[in-house]
Amino acid sequence: MIIKKSPAEIEAMKEAGRISAKVLREVGARVEPGVSTLELDRLAETLIRLEGGIPAFKGYGGFPGSICASVNDQIVHGIPAADVILKEGDIISIDTGATVDGWVGDNAWTFPVGNVSPEVKKLLDVTEKCMWAGLDAARPGNHLGDIGFAVQSIAEAEGYGVVREYVGHGIGRNMHEDPNVPNYGRRHHGILLEPGMVLAIEPMINMGTHKTRQMPDGWLVCTRDGKPSAHFEKTVAITEEGPVVLTTEPNFKRPVGK
């Protein structure tokens, strides 16, 4: 069942979104060669709690970290660890979430570690573009398939693979609510988008095949062919006026051309 939120509830979700966005930005600023993913995790938890939030991921379904930290060919759900040390040329997808007054904010970004190859930089740029296209499609009168189509058409035009098994989702008082939000689809198909829906739109785009492999820990998901993957995500409310990004900070300015 899709749980639509009132304008007042959407307003209340903005604080969880603000904290999630601020923490993602500040943790991302600490990404550099020699840093472990566990260090980034501890920083994220400290910052979330200092801002008055609760780490939304820690303990969720048994997940041990406050962030998901996925490096290079790791798509999602990487568990932070002291022995995972970032190196020059890596990329890391960091997913952060905060709960405030029972509301959840969820967002992700893929950061370069130092200088990355032109091919990898293009993957990051295209995946971010996919995210913005998906967010723009989250409008009343559109359908769920319009979001997926917007993402898929951009990614596949570049020859990239769009992950099928892992998708975006509704969000509110629970991290995962109905509906699932695939990053592929057909225009004008699927459920009708209506004001009050709040979605986490999160393209997961692979440089090679869309196929994935689940790792033995039961959490980490990697690309089947070992090629890099990027992951960008924001929480967005569908309103009468159009999409309103909730995982943002007051002074956030959308990049030109996005």
CATH number of the domain where residue 102 is located? 3.90.230.10
Determine the pLDDT at residue 249: 76
3-class DSSP state of 100:
strand
Q: Which residue has the higher pLDDT, 258 or 126?
A: 126
Instruction: Tell whether residue 176 is among the known ligand binding residues.
Output: yes
> Phi and psi (nearest 5°) for 37?
-70, -25
- The DSSP annotation for 47-93 comes to HHHHTT-EESSTTGGG---SEEEEETTEEE-PPP-TT-B--TT-EEE
Q: How far apart are the first and last CA of the chain?
A: 32
| Residue 163 included in any domain | yes
169: annotated binding-site residue?
A: yes
Tokens of 120: 């990898």
Residue range 117-154, pLDDT digits in tens: 999 999 999 999 999 999 999 999 999 999 999 999 99
**CA–CA distance, 230 with 108 (Å, rounded to integer):** 10
Q: Which two tokens stand for residue 125?
A: 């740029």
pLDDT value for 76: 98
The answer as to whether 107 is a domain residue is: yes
95 annotated as a binding-site residue: yes
Residue predicted with more confidence, 256 or 96: 96
Three-state DSSP state, 181: strand
Burial class (CB in 10 A: 0-12, 13-18, 19+), 77: buried
* Residue 108 within a domain: yes
Does a structural domain hold residue 131? yes
Tell me the mean pLDDT in the region 159-182. Answer: 98
| Cut 0.75: pTM above it | yes
**pLDDT for the residue 131:** 98
The answer to whether 15 is a known ligand-binding residue is no
The angle, 0 to 180 degrees and rounded to 10, between the axes of the packed helices 118-136 and 144-157 is 160
Place of tokens 């960091």: 94
Residue 156 in marked binding region: no
225 is in an annotated binding site: no
Say if residue 177 carries a ligand binding annotation: no
Which SS3 state, helix, strand or coil, does residue 146 take? helix
By three-state DSSP, how is residue 105 classified?
strand
Cα gap 158→124, rounded to integer Å: 12
* pLDDT tens for each residue of 204-257: 999 999 999 999 999 999 999 999 999 999 999 999 999 999 999 765 555 444
250 occurs within a structural domain = no
> How many distinct structural domains can be found in the chain?
1
Domain contains 256: no
Residue 253 belongs to a domain: no
Q: Which of 102, 94, 118 is nearest to 29 (CA)?
A: 94
Range of the domain at 101: 7-245
- pLDDT tens track for 54-77: 999 999 999 999 999 999 999 999
Asked whether residue 254 is domain-assigned, the answer is: no
Averaged over 10-34, what is the pLDDT? 97
Q: What is the pLDDT of residue 150?
A: 98
